[in-house]
Chains A and B, each alone.
Chain A
Amino acid sequence: QQQVKQSPQSLIVQKGGISIINCAYENTAFDYFPWYQQFPGKGPALLIAIRPDVSEKKEGRFTISFNKSAKQFSLHIMDSQPGDSATYFCAASIRTSGSRLTFGEGTQLTVNP
């Protein structure tokens, strides 16, 4: 049972475009929602994260939008660049339960030059 569902599975965007990846979760006890970025041959690395007390967080070209009532959150990559081509994972955890991350299925993003 996948508690965090991620879509789309793959995404192709032109350079300069906006990439949008969506996630939905089931467990209302989740209180931390990070996004991880993974390049081929590497381990995932934290990209940006949000807590449910805010609806949006922006760091450079990366923005998380969070909708608590809908139990959904999304990653927006503005002005997408070929260097952004990677696999992106959303995740969720309950911080008091010991950093146990539940990951989405992953989205393979390709940004064409």
Chain B
Amino acid sequence: EAQVTQNPRYLITVTGKKLTVTCSQNMNHEYMSWYRQDPGLGLRQIYYSMNVEVTDKGDVPEGYKVSRKEKRNFPLILESPSPNQTSLYFCASSFSWNGETQYFGPGTRLLVL
């Protein structure tokens, strides 16, 4: 089944404790992206990647890191999480960098205490 998977789905952590949220897609998509969803703000892009080893900042990149060493994986790293990073995170992918349909993962709900 073609899909985008994220792990973990739920995470509670404390301020400053490094964490990684994994994202994997099995559709051989070139483009991958991370969004955060907050009430009243919609979804905002954190980072995106047009292909392996090519990443760039989105609209809200502060406090996040990403890497794209393999085409299928695009992990999101929070080196020192803070409470303002409490949010619902979505990974998405599309066939190409100018692909129009983005396929979203199921989301990861993060609480930073």
Chain A residue contacts of B40, Cβ below 8 A: 9, 105-106
Which residues of A are at the interface with B, using a C-beta cutoff of 8 A? 2, 4, 6, 9, 32, 34, 36, 41-46, 49, 89, 95-96, 98-106
Pairwise interchain contact B42-A100, C-beta atoms closer than 8 A? no
With A89-B42, A104-B42, A105-B40: A98-B102 Cβ-Cβ less than 8 Å: no
Neighbour of A99 across the interface among B44, B59, B90, B94, CB < 8 A: B94
Among the stretches B61-69, B73-81, B104-112, the one at the interface with A is B104-112
Pairwise interchain contact B42-A99, C-beta atoms closer than 8 A? no
Q: Is the interface of B mostly helix, strand, loop or mixed?
A: strand
Interface residues on B, range: 20 to 34
Number of contacts between A and B (CB, 8 Å)? 68
Chain B residue contacts of A89, Cβ below 8 A: 42-43
Q: How far is the CA of A104 from the CA of B33 in the complex (A)?
A: 17
Pairwise interchain contact B104-A100, C-beta atoms closer than 8 A? no
Pairwise interchain contact A100-B41, C-beta atoms closer than 8 A? no
Chain B residue contacts of A101, Cβ below 8 A: 43, 45, 102
Cβ of B83 within 8 Å of any chain A Cβ, yes or no, is: no
